[in-house]
Amino acid sequence: MTRLCALDEIPDGATRAFTVATADGPLDLFVLRRGALIAAYENTCPHLGTPLDWAPDRFLSEDASHIVCATHGARFRLEDGHCYFGPCAGEALRALPARLEDGAVVLAI
Ligand code: FES
């Protein structure tokens, strides 16, 4: 179990990037918060494997309705990382097991 941050450190409709140590080496990921939804995904686009963020800690469209890849603009659903538009349509981000525990976002890996 890895504590990432306090929930308050991710505003509603925002994202935050992290790098955590795993047995397989560093893992780059991000956490998004939108209403009651807390989700974490590996920071790797299924198209070419590049990072998704277009600025530090910025992974969402301007209206926070979807995740967007900075490289070619693929769009992914917030709730499950499914790509519904772009060169990797039909694929998905790798979801990671994040949850809330005592007001903190934790990763169960
Ligand atoms: S690398 Fe993400 S859409 Fe091409």
pLDDT tens digits along 13-39 = 999 999 999 999 999 999 999 999 999
Q: Tell me what pLDDT residue 88 has.
A: 98
Angstrom distance (rounded) from CA 19 to CA 10: 16
8 A C-beta contact, residue 75 and residue 87: no
Distance CA 74, CA 55 (A): 16
Pocket test for ligand 1, best of 50, 52, 66 (most atoms within 8 A of CB): 50
pLDDT, residue 20, reads: 97
Task: Assess whether pLDDT exceeds 90 at residue 56.
Answer: yes
H or E, element range at 3: strand 2-6
Ligand 1 pocket mutation, candidates 42, 43, 44, 45, criterion most atoms within 8 A of CB: 45
Average pLDDT, the chain: 97
92: which DSSP letter? B
71 lines ligand 1 (CB under 6 A): yes
Instruction: List the domains of the chain with CATH numbers.
Output: 2-104 (2.102.10.10)
